[in-house]
Amino acid sequence: MDCIFCKIAGHEMAANIVFEDDDVMAFRDINPQAPIHLLIVPKKHLGSIMEINEENGEIINKIIRTAQNLARQNNIDSKGFRLVVNTGNDGGQTVGHLHFHLLGGRFMTWPPG
């Protein structure tokens, strides 16, 4: 499958990787929207949050734990941050591999637009 985040997860494409274990990878967004903008992805391909089910749902726990650790490492755990999962066309999803944006280092406005 021609999926850029699968290629990054498989080390076939370069990225600025900040964390990796057997199931999860985190890397810097190529077009950052905040001083800290990381993407956290499952290594196994899932198209979007809509593909999460009872069998594979543990990956969400792992991703959230990774987000917590990365927030601590980047010193934004107390100040706050935003964790975003754009889903589908109206949700603004442009890469068809589930990813969580971890955004921080500035004040986030609402609504997101």
**Under the rule (CB under 6 A), what is the footprint of ligand AMP?**
4, 15, 27, 29-31, 39, 86, 92-95
Q: Which of 37, 45, 99, 101 is catalytic?
A: 99
Tell me which long-range contacts 65-68 makes (C-beta under 8 A, separation of at least 24): 66/19, 66/24, 66/26, 66/40, 67/40, 67/100, 67/102
Shortest distance (Å) from residue 14 CB to ligand AMP: 8
Shortest distance (Å) from residue 78 CB to ligand AMP: 25
Q: Which is nearer to ligand AMP, 66 or 78 (CB)?
A: 66
Shortest distance (Å) from residue 27 CB to ligand AMP: 6
Active site residue 101: no
For the chain, the residue count is 113
Per DSSP, which regions of 36-109 are E strands? Answer: 36-42, 81-84, 100-104
Q: What is the CA radius of gyration of the chain?
A: 14
Residues marked active site are found at: 99
